[in-house]
Chain A
């Protein structure tokens, strides 16, 4: 596969966006990990889904060859910050809330 930037630089960008998104999410008061049992938890946390969303949007920008300044590092930082803000304040407007046992979440 041909990338416009080196593969090391690509992985470094992902690492930067993960670290920035987790740090900003922690600053905004989200927990680091969901509460136990983690596999059934719907809590928004710093690792999941903030880091996943940051990586996904960065992957989208890189896959259309949009790197911008400093081989994509500035983009990685901006997307990390924005994805943490998105998960904290706008997540509930985009994705449906967890369905509860009684069925439906409109009560």
Chain B
């Protein structure tokens, strides 16, 4: 498969995997720790969305589905299916040490392992495409323009009925 096309598809799949799982498991609803609260309010002051800001703060302060997706891709690249499952376990330990119940990270890593098994074993993708694709996906959310990306995350949170009730 052409590397560039594979990379673009892998980035889109990784983006959907981590944003949908993180939103469904309540990241935009409330900040898990004080740091996430500060990030959310800081982004709101700069013209962003509060719920999307909590989302950004939460993925910054503890390993959620974003870290799960990235680590599962790396684990799968290095040692196959066992690496993806091992990544889920390590993300779970990291979550518990960061005062987070750990549902989002573990679920994200496990779903990514399943996706990688399907795409790499049967559809001709390479695991490295998903590693690079996830870096691009997280750069789109965290790296380019916070107010615009948090507004998009806030809209997705409203669709999932996970919009924050805090002010």
Binding site for B on A (CB under 8 A): 1, 3, 7, 10, 14, 37-42, 48-49, 52-53, 55-60, 62-63, 95-96, 98-99
Chain A contacts of B80 at CB under 8 A? 1, 3
On whether the beta carbons of B103 and A55 are closer than 8 Å, the reply is no
The CA-CA distance from A57 to B80 in the complex, in Å, is 15
Classify the secondary structure of B's interface with A: helix
Docked complex Cα distance between A79 and B80 (Å): 21
Q: Give the residues in chain B near A59, CB-CB below 8 Å.
A: 82-83, 85-86, 89
A73 shortest CB reach to chain B, Å:
16
In the assembled complex, 29 residue pairs joining A and B whose CB atoms fall closer than 8 Å, in A order, are A38-B103, A39-B26, A39-B103, A40-B26, A40-B101, A42-B101, A48-B106, A49-B106, A52-B89, A52-B106, A53-B89, A53-B92, A56-B85, A56-B89, A56-B92, A57-B89, A59-B82, A59-B83, A60-B86, A60-B89, A62-B82, A63-B79, A63-B82, A63-B83, A63-B86, A95-B93, A96-B96, A96-B99, A99-B99
Residues of B within 8 A of A (CB): 24-26, 79-83, 85-86, 88-90, 92-93, 96-97, 99, 101-104, 106
For A7, A10, A52, A63, the residue with the greatest tally of chain B CB atoms inside 10 Å of its CB is: A52
Residues on B with beta carbons closer than 8 Å to the beta carbon of A7: 81
User: Helix, strand, loop or mixed for chain A's interface?
Assistant: helix
| B residues less than 8 Å from A40 (CB atoms) | 26, 101
- Asked whether A56 lies within 8 Å of B82 as measured between CB atoms, the reply is no
Known A-B contacts A1-B79, A56-B86; A49 and B102 likewise in contact (beta carbons under 8 Å): yes
Q: Find the A residue at minimum CB distance from B30.
A: A40
| Bound-state Cα–Cα, A56 to B103, Å | 15
